[in-house]
A and B are shown apart, each in its own frame.
Chain A
Amino acid sequence: MHISEGILSAPVLLTGVILTAGGVSLGLKKMDYERIPEVAVLTSAFFVASLIHVPIGPSSAHLVLNGLMGLLLGWIAFPAILVGLALQALLFQFGGLTSLCVNAFNMAFPAVVSFYLFRLFNRKYNRYTLIFSGFLCGVIGILGSAFLVALSLVTTGEAFLTAAKLIVIAHLPVMIIEGGITAAAVVSLNKVRPELLTRKVKI
């Protein structure tokens, strides 16, 4: 879901920089110094998890997990995702430096949305609300990102319309699987370390 270098137009890149700068500064404000190690190590965990390829029929897809990241981190997902993507761009050349901010916004904004959704559904929580809202967060993470990627491409040029449509369609099966995986991961977190899900996160 990374957009490579050299594709997007100047206005799209600039919009990405402004939006991401806003999100990141808000996220950094909410992240106290004591939380830096926690957020950083969690980000490395998601960096490693995004290297996992899950089979889908004859092909495979790698996990994104921005929904799960969002529901654990809230607005701090912005700096965390920016850092993760910067490392991916520098270490593996996935995505790119000039498109970094656009990619970060495309993934971090749905993450923040899933944070609020998850809180909304789990004021009083039980197993079923956890499964349902976990699934929803996984779906929103992927679907939202796919739509934002498509939007970035189409606002760059009408010529990308077919490519953008294909990207959204290709992510529909991925979205279901991420939803399922996010739901199961939330349930397992609730069993092993429930305080991670229920503690008060500064909004």
Chain B
Amino acid sequence: MHLEEFAEGKSLIHSLDPRIKLLSLFPFIVVVAIAKGLTVPFIALMVGVNLVLFSRLNLKAVLTRLFPVNLFILFLWFMLPFSVKGEGIFTIGPLTATSEGIFYALTITLKANAIVLSTIALIGTIPIFRLVHALRHLKVPEKLVNLFFFCYRYISVLHEDYSALYNAMKVRAFKPATNVHTYRSYAYLIGMLVVRSYDHSEKIYQAMLCRGFRGRFPLLDHFTGLTRKDFVFFIFMIFVAACLVTLEVGKYFWRLP
């Protein structure tokens, strides 16, 4: 499993300080998440697309990532046009689609994709170790950060365990189907994964104690001071968020959708 797909690369966004990227992302996604109507979500989507373009990511890989997000939203597209009250546009059988419903579904689609794209561009481009380090600088509880890091680190190990166990089942002609045998076999597989995870964790903890671990990771690669481009980017993103707030509040005056 390749997990840090976007973390490597040379671009303006990759070179920014991780703390700045986190701090400039959060106001933006919060504003987008609670926005209504179409104007703010549309502009936010444009911002998201541009952030992805500026970080020069593999666009095909980014589009693949958008797929699971839009699957849930596609499900809502089948529901919302018929369940929001308003002016009818067309009818299928007993159901009437309303323009309000379609606008609502469109709003959600724009918002979700805007948030996901900007998250990929700003957090996806941070290697996990630096992300964890930045989270500690931003005062996220130490235990939680350590939990996050260890969990991330051992996903690939446990995935190897899982593949080994599953291959052993396949060698014995296991074919998943809808029957009790399949479910029981999966249950035993999960039970074994849990047991192995305990065994791993004991060894890991003892090995860490041997090396003098006291709940902290000593670092050589500290964050250096912030540069001018970090400040410029931070101010720019805060400015964008402020503009979106103004638009959101002012759209009733200016009669924007």
Contact = CB atoms under 8 A, between A and B. Distances in A.
Contacts of A19: none
A134 to B, nearest CB: 9
A193 B176 CA distance: 26
A47 B151 contact: yes
Q: Which label, helix, strand, loop or mixed, suits the secondary structure of the B interface?
A: helix
Interface in A1-43: 2-10, 13, 24-25, 28, 31, 33-34, 36-43
A133 B147 CA distance: 29
A189 B194 contact: yes
A203 interface: no
The range of chain B's interface size is 35 or more
Interface in B111-130: 111-112, 114-116, 119-120, 123-124
Interface string B176-188: 1110101110111
B170 interface: no
A93 interface: yes
A96 interface: yes
B191 A189 contact: yes
B54 interface: no
Q: Which label, helix, strand, loop or mixed, suits the secondary structure of the A interface?
A: helix
Contacts of A74: none
Nearest to B123: A90
Contacts of B79: 159-160, 162-163, 166
Contact of A91 (B3, B115, B195): B3
Given A28-B141, A43-B147, A7 B190 contact: no
Contact of B187 (A40, A47, A48, A180): A180
Interface stretch (B9-17, B67-75, B229-237): B67-75
Contacts of B76: 7, 160, 163
A177 B114 CA distance: 36
Interface of A: 2-10, 13, 24-25, 28, 31, 33-34, 36-45, 47-49, 52, 54-57, 63, 65, 68, 72, 79-80, 82-84, 86-87, 89-94, 96-99, 158-163, 166, 177, 180-186, 188-189, 192-193, 196
Interface of B: 3, 29-30, 32-34, 41, 65-66, 68-69, 72-73, 75-76, 79-80, 82-84, 101, 104, 107-112, 114-116, 119-120, 123-124, 141, 143-144, 146-155, 157-159, 161-162, 176-178, 180, 182-184, 186-198, 200-202, 204-205, 208, 215
Given A28-B144, A196-B195, 17 more contacts: A9-B34, A37-B208, A38-B198, A40-B146, A40-B201, A41-B197, A43-B151, A48-B161, A54-B176, A86-B148, A99-B33, A159-B83, A185-B194, A188-B187, A188-B188, A188-B191, A189-B191
